[in-house]
């Protein structure tokens, strides 16, 4: 089968998950064993490198050894003992990067599909989330990380505002780790807590960073409140400043929800010296072009979550205004409680909303459209750079980590599309994601997550959801 390992050594260990897992076919191997076997050669696909030098190879090979991309070329002779993945009829892409997703809300999947923001906020964020145990946020991180991998997202930032104690945070990080995703833990105050002295404390952050520092697949980010959220809280703005300065001292990203209904926060942040290249503004629906320009001039980023914004906040951030202002946009999945979070869907929503805005601005008919292919950096190179990971992920460049997606573009929904980028961004869906590698390890093969008992996870999530929502 296309995208599958042709050697029996293709199975991966169960990633340390503390529950029953299905036995994988073939020989299980541990981290590092793929190097002794000669690495992994992904052969014969249309390779979309996202690297300007080679560009897209109509037919090419990718060699991964010791967790890193060693070589990309039209033809590579397989090293002795290499695992070979046949990618004929497939597009080979960098693993996608999502820089804003609330993984704990995976436990509430389906609950908020018809909720406006107020209903979601009151039921899930304010009433149910205080009931979460550390094991609940562990399960949310685990299942949310697996969902990301299933859809070709190999790096995800877990914007976690459900960590009521340090133990909650440490278990959330453990969930990310056991899922096998490359995870960034966005440490935020609990959704019900405001003020200058709420979690996380400096000691809380230090405890999590000790864990992320010793795991190559984990990173830390700081997720402060927005100025508007703490406008009436004594010491609230000072707390934001402390959070940003802490992130800068640690060399980690800052991620902040703001700009949903005003752009005044940008002035507040700029006046206090808090705009910078480490900051990603989330949503930004109501930012003016001048505010976008201030963010861009400071080297900052904007992450748009089109589907949830259309449901809960209005129109997504205007793409053309961002581009004119010099923003390098990124796209994120946001809220599993209310919609599927795969980035194929989100990319398409963002592009089509801008086309609708263009119709409204010109009165139509349109004579030109923003190109579909231009949005691929929003979920690869731009998103990686927003997380400070441009040197590790986001493109198939030798020396970067072996995070790769093999996308079947010869399924019925993509037949007849010659350009692999068009196939991926216009017609593909999660069902086309055949094989996924993170750090050179196969975590999805033949369309199935490796070593995961999905029925057991389904039961555990439903049990948690029923308990958390009981009598609310």
Is it the case that residue 82 has pLDDT exceeding 90? yes
- What pLDDT, on a 0 to 100 scale, did the predictor assign at position 364? 83
d(CA 7, CA 220): 36
Over residues 75-89, mean pLDDT:
95
φ, ψ at 317 (rounded to 5°)? -55, 135
Tokens of 225: 């409140």
Q: How confident is the model at residue 38 (pLDDT cuts 50, 70, 90)?
A: confident
Strands 254-258 and 279-283: parallel
pLDDT tens digit sequence for 344-362: 999 999 999 999 999 999 9
CB 220 within 8 A of CB 252: yes
Percent of all residues in the chain with a pLDDT value above 90, rounded to a whole number:
86
Is it the case that residue 58 has pLDDT exceeding 90? yes
d(CA 37, CA 97): 29
If we measure between CA atoms, which residue out of 312, 321, 382, 314 comes closest to residue 347? Answer: 382
pLDDT tens digit sequence for 363-380: 988 898 999 999 999 999
φ, ψ at 432 (rounded to 5°)? -85, -10
Burial label for 198, CB within 10 Å (0-12, 13-18, 19+), is middle
Strands 90-94 and 404-408: antiparallel
Q: Read off the pTM.
A: 0.93
Report the half-sphere exposure of 171 (CA within 13 A, side-chain side).
Answer: 18
Is it the case that residue 30 has pLDDT exceeding 70? no
Over residues 326-340, mean pLDDT:
97
d(CA 177, CA 313): 32
- Characterize 217-249 residue by residue with b for buried, 16 or more Cβ atoms within 10 angstroms of its Cβ, and e for exposed: bbbbbbbbbbbbbbeeeeebbebbeebbebbee
């Amino acid at each position: 089968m296309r995208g599958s390992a042709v050697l029996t050594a293709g199975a991966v260990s169960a990633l340390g998950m503390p529950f029953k897992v299905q036995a994988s076919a073939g020989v299980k191997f541990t981290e590092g064993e793929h190097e002794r076997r000669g690495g992994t050669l992904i052969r014969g696909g249309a390779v979309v490198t996202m690297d300007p030098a080679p560009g897209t190879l109509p037919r090419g090979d990718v060699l991964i050894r010791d967790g890193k991309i060693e070589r990309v070329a039209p033809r590579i002779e397989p090293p002795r003992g290499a695992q070979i993945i046949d990618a004929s009829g497939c597009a080979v892409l960098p693993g996608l990067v999502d820089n804003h997703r609330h993984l704990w809300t995976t436990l509430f999947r389906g609950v908020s599909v018809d909720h406006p923001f107020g209903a979601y906020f009151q039921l899930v964020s304010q009433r149910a989330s205080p009931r979460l145990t550390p094991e609940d946020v562990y399960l949310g991180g685990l299942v949310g990380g697996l969902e990301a991998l299933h859809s070709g997202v190999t790096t995800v930032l877990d914007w976690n505002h459900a960590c009521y104690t340090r133990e909650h945070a440490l278990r959330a990080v453990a969930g990310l780790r056991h899922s096998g995703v490359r995870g960034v833990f966005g440490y935020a105050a609990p959704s019900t807590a405001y003020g200058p002295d709420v979690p996380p404390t400096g000691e809380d952050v230090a405890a999590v960073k000790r864990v992320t520092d010793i795991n190559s697949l984990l990173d830390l980010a700081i997720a402060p409140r927005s100025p508007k959220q703490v406008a009436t809280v004594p010491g609230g703005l000072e707390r934001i400043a402390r959070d940003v300065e802490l992130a800068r001292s640690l060399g980690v990203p800052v991620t902040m929800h703001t700009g949903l209904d005003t752009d005044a926060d940008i002035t507040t942040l700029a006046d206090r010296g808090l705009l910078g290249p480490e900051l990603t503004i989330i949503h930004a629906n109501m930012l003016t072009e001048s505010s976008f320009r201030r963010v861009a001039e400071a080297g900052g980023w904007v992450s748009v979550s089109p589907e949830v914004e259309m449901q809960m906040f209005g129109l997504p951030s205007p793409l053309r205004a961002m581009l004119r202002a010099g923003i390098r946009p990124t796209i994120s999945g946001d809220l599993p409680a209310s919609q599927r979070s795969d980035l194929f869907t989100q990319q398409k929503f963002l592009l089509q909303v801008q086309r609708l805005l263009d119709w409204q601005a010109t009165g139509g008919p349109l004579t030109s459209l923003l190109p579909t292919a231009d949005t691929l950096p929003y979920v690869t190179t731009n998103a990686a750079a927003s997380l400070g990971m441009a040197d590790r992920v986001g493109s198939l460049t030798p020396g970067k980590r072996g995070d790769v997606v093999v996308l079947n573009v010869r399924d019925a929904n993509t037949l007849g599309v010659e350009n692999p980028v068009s196939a991926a961004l216009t017609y593909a869906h999660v069902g086309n994601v055949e094989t996924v590698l993170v750090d050179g390890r196969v975590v999805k093969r033949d369309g199935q997550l490796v070593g995961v008992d999905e029925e057991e996870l389904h039961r555990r999530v439903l049990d948690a959801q029923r308990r958390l929502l009981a009598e609310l």
